[in-house]
Structures are given as C-alpha cells and as structure tokens.
Amino acid sequence: MQISNLLKPTGRAYFAVRRDIQRDGFRMHQVHGKPTYQCYVKLPYKSIFLNENTEFYEYQHWNQVVESDSKCPFCKVNPKLELLAETPLSYSVLDGFPVAKGHTLVVPKRHEANFFGLTFEEQKDLVQVSDFVQEILKDNYETEDFTLGINIGRNAGQRMDHTTIHLIPRYSGDCTNPKGGIRNILK
C-alpha cells in the first residue's frame, strides 16, 4: 500500500525475486549477516524477465492497470480521484459523488460485479484495505464512526457492474435517527 503513495501516477517500480531457492526457510543473509526467511513467491504483477536465478516484475500503478477501451468507471479510473491506498489486487479512492465528507470506495482491480464472485484472496484484500483506509479517514475527517456497505445486484442499489465497498464516515447529526443503522434502509 505504501508503494502507490511513493510513486507519481506515471511512475514505475520493479521487484526482483530470486528463483534459485530450493526450499523455504531461514538462511544467513550474505551481505547483512542476519537470518533471513526466504521462500518461493509469485507476485501478481507483469513478469518482464525470467531466468533460472531471478524474475523481475513491473509494478502496475492503479491508473495503468486498465484497458484503454474499458467502459467501466472502476476499470478505467478517473485520474482526478484521490488515491488513498493500493495493493496488487485492489485500490481505494475518495468517491467522486460522496454522500458524506470522506466517502471512500474500495475497489478490486479485477472486473467482477458480484462480491461473492471474487476469490477469497480478493475479498480478504478488500477488507484489509478498508481497515487501512479507515485509519486515514479517522485522522483526516475527525470521526470514529463508519458505515461499511456493499451493494450486490440492481435490487440492492448497485448501479455499476463492478464490486465496490463503500466506507462512509459518520458524524453526529448527519441523519435524524441513526438508531438501527442499516436496518432503516428498508421500510
């Protein structure tokens, strides 16, 4: 999540991964002389070089991952939206049409309309990003209270066929009767 904050929107970053590791475990680091855990990993980025010793990955920034001809507003994101966090699987931006100050969207990078159609890893990632972002919102918008919601399907209010988690900061007096929370959406 920190890489996206360090890069400019057109920036590039690369990861080098060793491919000569025979088994997982701790080994003495050759340069620093400290025990280092090493294991075989496969990163969810574009592989640009591979041989028997090394693989290089190119980090793809949230605004570079999309196909240019995509009609989905979450696959082809408006670069004017403020990016709050990013992982290989998802990103978070301030909502372009907020219902409250600090209204944030947490979005998977893979186009999938139904939250339950996402892999468990993608679902877990969305929850972790939500947790990370709510700390940012607490600091920036001076609130401790939130409504977290996912609309799945047209009858539930989903307007775009792409999963989004809405993280909405709540404030004293922002509705006449907050008692019952989301239970009050249905009459």
Domains, the chain, in order of start with CATH, read 2-59 (no CATH), 83-172 (3.30.428.10)
**Rounded to the nearest 10 degrees, how much is the dihedral formed by the CA atoms of 73, 76, 79, 81?**
30
Q: What is the 3-state secondary structure (H, E, C) of 118-186?
A: CCHHHHHHHHHHHHHHHHHHHHHHCCCEEEEEECCCHHHCCCCCCCCEEEEEECCCCCCCCCCHHHHHC
The pLDDT profile of the chain, 187 residues, written as one tens digit per residue, is: 566 666 666 677 888 888 888 888 888 888 888 888 888 777 777 788 999 889 998 877 666 665 556 788 888 777 788 888 888 788 999 999 998 999 999 999 889 999 999 999 999 999 999 999 999 999 999 999 999 999 999 998 899 999 999 999 998 888 777 776 666 655 5
CA-CA distance, 149 to 60, in Å (whole number)? 27
Predicted TM-score of the model (pTM): 0.70
Find residue 14's DSSP bridge partners: 58
